[in-house]
Structure 1
């Protein structure tokens, strides 16, 4: 009876771990399908539901900013440990403007201003479709 229980627990653990690894691998692969200018809905369609909404607000001049977080587990080749790496997607007025490693959004006001300025420059100078 004990051996049967252990076997079931072991099989269940292997199944759960393989599903988690498959999801993380899938996120790593689908980041290649993400393109600047995509809408929030298009990004969610490609990457799936985010793990959290980091920030969402409207600026004084009416720009809507939203930051979504996706978490990817990566193996550290130096320590042989699996580490979580957040990837943040930055949307300005529902358009993907930037993505990259998660930052400390609340304490980095300078970064917020810089991304808004870059967005305005991009919108003014981008080729019309």
Structure 2
């Protein structure tokens, strides 16, 4: 009788643990919700809405401000038919703590810092 009771408790515990893992992984698979982000938000507001970035891709100080690029990864596949394609990466561009633009990652090199700086400083 005692053996049967432990068996039931063990199964119930396993089912509970499995269910918790399943639901926590589903939440992770959703990724950041970019509908909550708007141009003009501060870095703190963006982090409050999306969480901490997965990486700070770039940061450069200029005479009149600082340019920073944050990266957020989503579990959304680039090509849904190819499961090996990888995950989509979004870059958020900040100048002087203000979100200037965001979108999917593009090929990027550090020499492009100045291009982004010139583009964003016109808005300030």
Whether these two folds match at TM > 0.5 is yes
- Where does residue 127 of structure 1 map in the other structure? none
Aligned residue pair count: 114
- Where does residue 22 of structure 1 map in the other structure? 27
Q: Determine the C-alpha separation between the residues in 1 that align with 2:84 and 2:20.
A: 20
Per-residue deviation, residues 4-60 of structure 1 (Å, max 9, x unmatched):
79x94x975664454233234251xx201100010000000000111122222312x
Q: Is the aligned partner of 1:83 residue 2:86?
A: yes
- Where does residue 115 of structure 1 map in the other structure? 116
Q: 1:24 to 1:65 in 2, by over 3 A?
A: farther
- Where does residue 35 of structure 1 map in the other structure? 38
Deviating above 4 A after TM superposition, structure 1's stretches of 4 or more consecutive aligned residues are 10-15
- Where does residue 55 of structure 1 map in the other structure? 58
TM-score (norm 1): 0.69
- Where does residue 4 of structure 2 map in the other structure? none
Higher relative contact order (CA 8 A, sep 6+): 2
The Cα RMSD (Å) is 2.9
- Gapped runs of 5+ residues in structure 2? 1-6
Q: Determine the C-alpha separation between the residues in 2 that align with 1:18 and 1:81.
A: 24
Greater shift, 94-103 or 37-46, is seen at 94-103
- Gapped runs of 5+ residues in structure 1? 124-129
